[in-house]
Amino acid sequence: MESIREQLQIFTRRFGLLNESCCDECCGEQVSMTQSHILFEVRRLASPSMQQVAEELGVDVTTFSRQVKVLEARGLVSRRVSPDDRRVTILGLTGAGREVVEKIDHYMAARLERVFGGMTTFERETVVRSLGLLNEAVAKAGDADAGLGGTIACCK
């Protein structure tokens, strides 16, 4: 039987999670995987602070700040000072940023449909439930290993 690690490594490669950038096929923009995750989380968290998104992604604030500056320079995110605490910077998506996220969403939905298209409804539901369980287990193990930055992998 193949190991869990081997299955995860193969899944990551096949799904394309190691690709350096989105391509023209995806959103027509050169958006790195990290930048794509930032855009996704800014939308998901609805006007989050920079610290919130950095923590959610497990990225140190300095590295995160550089990525946000690139996204801001490209007109995809906006930054503003929090009215409640002037030390806090709030992030938002610009119109162009929302368009890029929507294009990535559309691309990913089509890709996932191709992946799940050959499965029965039961198989699909089983995979989704299993991914939820796996995410919860990884989060719990990461919390227990907070000294490693809350991650399971040996490197980021």
Between CA 26 and CA 28 the distance in angstroms is 6
Confidence of residue 78 (pLDDT cuts 50, 70, 90): very high
Mean pLDDT of the chain: 84
Residue 141 pLDDT grade (very low, low, confident, very high; cuts 50, 70, 90):
confident
Share of the chain above pLDDT 90, in %: 50
- Read off the pLDDT band of 28 (50, 70, 90): low
Domain extents in the chain: 20-115, 119-156
Q: Is the pLDDT at 100 greater than 80, yes or no?
A: yes
pTM of the model: 0.77
Question: What is the widest separation between alpha-carbon atoms in the chain?
Answer: 56
Question: Backbone phi, then psi, for 126, in 5-degree steps?
Answer: -65, -45
Question: How do residues 105-140 score in pLDDT, each as one tens digit?
Answer: 998 888 889 889 999 999 999 999 999 999 899 888
- Please answer whether residues 106 and 22 qualify as being in contact, where contact means their C-beta atoms are separated by less than 8 angstroms: no
Assigned architecture for domain 20-115: Orthogonal Bundle (1.10)
Cβ–Cβ < 8 Å for 90, 81: yes
pLDDT of the residue at 7: 84
